[in-house]
């Protein structure tokens, strides 16, 4: 029987559980369109992402897939065109300028790929870590020494960045990002300019921040050394989350990684390009519902004269 108008109204008025609930990071149908000289580029096209508090997460994807755009939105540097972006309960689309400044100073810490961009070259390691505390009007106390110690770079407290190696600069940069006890650390290719041994040290420092301070860490990376050591890796393609790899410890202590395609709320999923290419799938596919799976077949167009 069809529902009556009043039943439909009651259904529409009922409060629905918000997507992602009270997760630490919630992006729901996030859209970011850049307009330059009349040309529109859709960098994020309805991206969904839910991250729980305390997660250590990697984001991977081809160049231009939207990773940096997402990180810029989450860091409060950029405002998305539409959708929902919420971090620690704060709505990133509706913040006042004052809230945004507080958010950037106290809720989130950021690490860039370019080591030189993270630190002021004329300040020592300790002074660099103390600067965000001074700007936020906080007491400095022993915190900078503790953070440099946690990152394994106590010896850099009195050195200026040009006197530190690239890996040391990045570890001091993590201490700077942690200065005001943020809830979230965002890092854009933090090991991009480093060799593998140094990358391991920098990633180890990020992992310590995550495990010992409970900070949620989101790392954009091309570095397999990083993406293969986190519990969850999110793949972004064409401005949307397309895949997720979950890692867990197997019965014999080995790491088992399983890759999944992401099914969004309206039922869209992206088939991996190598799968569709292998079967020449284009434009249309045939779907069949089986008792425990859905089959996807290429459509073979028959030449007109054979029909
Ligand atoms: N400020 C901007 N103005 C115009 N277009 C932009 C701007 N920033 C990014 N884009 C475009 O948005 C898309 C996504 O870019 P983004 O930098 O987020 O990708 P990415 O995955 O981080 O790439 P990479 O790995 O190369 O850093 C690209 O097509 C890019 O050209």
The tens digit of pLDDT for each residue in 103-146 reads: 998 899 999 888 888 899 999 999 999 999 988 887 777 889 99
Between the CA of 44 and the centroid of ligand 1 the distance, in Å, is: 9
Tokens found for residue 34: 């850049």
Question: Is residue 291 located within the same domain as residue 162?
Answer: no
| Residue of the CA atom closest to atom 10 of ligand 1 | 43
* For the CA of 239, the nearest atom of ligand 1: 14
Q: Residue 239's pLDDT is what?
A: 93
Q: With 60 as the cut, is the pLDDT of residue 306 above it?
A: no
Please list every protein residue whose CB sits less than 6 Å from any atom of ligand 1: 34, 36, 41, 43, 61, 63-69
Looking at the 3D structure of the chain, how many domains does it have? 2
Distance between terminal CA atoms of the chain?
43
* Cα–Cα distance for residue pair 105/133, rounded to 1 Å: 9
Q: With 90 as the cut, is the pLDDT of residue 33 above it?
A: yes
- How high is the mean pLDDT of the chain? 89
Of 42, 62, 69, 186, best ligand 1 pocket probe by most atoms within 8 Å of the beta carbon: 69
Evaluate whether residue 38 is within a structural domain.
Answer: no
* For the CA of 35, the nearest atom of ligand 1: 4
Question: Is residue 226 located within the same domain as residue 297?
Answer: no
Could you give the ipTM of this predicted complex? 0.95
Alpha helix (H) ranges present in 182-282? 196-213, 224-227, 273-278
- The residue with greater pLDDT, 254 or 147, is 147
Confidence of residue 15 (pLDDT cuts 50, 70, 90): low
Domain range holding 296?
A: 276-306
| Residue of the CA atom closest to atom 6 of ligand 1 | 34
Q: Residue 270's pLDDT is what?
A: 87
The tens digit of pLDDT for each residue in 142-196 reads: 889 999 999 999 999 999 999 999 999 999 999 999 999 999 999 999 888 888 8
Question: Is residue 257 located within the same domain as residue 285?
Answer: no
Average pLDDT over residues 261-266: 84
Question: Is residue 255 located within the same domain as residue 283?
Answer: no
| Residue of the CA atom closest to atom 17 of ligand 1 | 68
Question: Is residue 251 located within the same domain as residue 300?
Answer: no
């Amino acid at each position: 029987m069809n529902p009556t108008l009043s039943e439909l109204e009651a259904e529409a008025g009922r409060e629905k559980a918000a997507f992602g609930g009270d997760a630490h990071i919630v992006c729901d149908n996030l859209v970011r369109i850049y307009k330059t000289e009349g040309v529109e580029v859709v960098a994020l096209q309805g991206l969904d992402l839910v991250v729980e508090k305390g997660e250590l997460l990697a984001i991977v994807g081809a160049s231009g897939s939207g990773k940096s755009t997402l990180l810029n939105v989450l860091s409060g540097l950029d405002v998305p065109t539409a959708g929902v972006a919420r971090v620690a309960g704060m709505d990133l689309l509706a913040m006042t300028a004052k809230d945004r400044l507080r958010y950037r100073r106290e809720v989130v810490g950021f690490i860039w790929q370019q080591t030189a961009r993270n630190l002021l070259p004329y300040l020592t390691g300790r002074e660099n870590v103390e600067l965000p505390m001074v700007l936020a009007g906080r007491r400095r106390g022993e915190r900078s020494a503790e953070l440099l110690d946690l990152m394994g770079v106590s010896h850099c407290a009195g050195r200026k960045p040009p006197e530190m190696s690239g890996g040391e600069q990045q570890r001091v940069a993590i201490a700077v990002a942690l200065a005001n006890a943020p809830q979230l650390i965002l890092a854009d290719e933090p090991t991009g300019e480093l060799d593998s041994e140094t990358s391991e040290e920098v990633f180890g420092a990020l992992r310590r921040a995550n495990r010992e301070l409970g900070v949620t860490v989101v790392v954009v990376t091309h570095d397999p050394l990083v993406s293969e050591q986190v519990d969850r890796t999110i793949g972004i393609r064409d401005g949307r989350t397309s895949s997720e790899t979950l890692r867990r410890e197997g019965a014999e202590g080995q790491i088992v990684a399983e890759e999944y395609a992401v099914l969004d709320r309206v039922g869209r999923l992206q088939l991996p390009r190598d799968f569709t290419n292998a079967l020449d799938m284009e434009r249309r596919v045939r779907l069949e519902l089986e008792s425990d799976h859905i089959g996807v077949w290429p459509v073979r167009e028959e030449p007109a004269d054979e029909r």
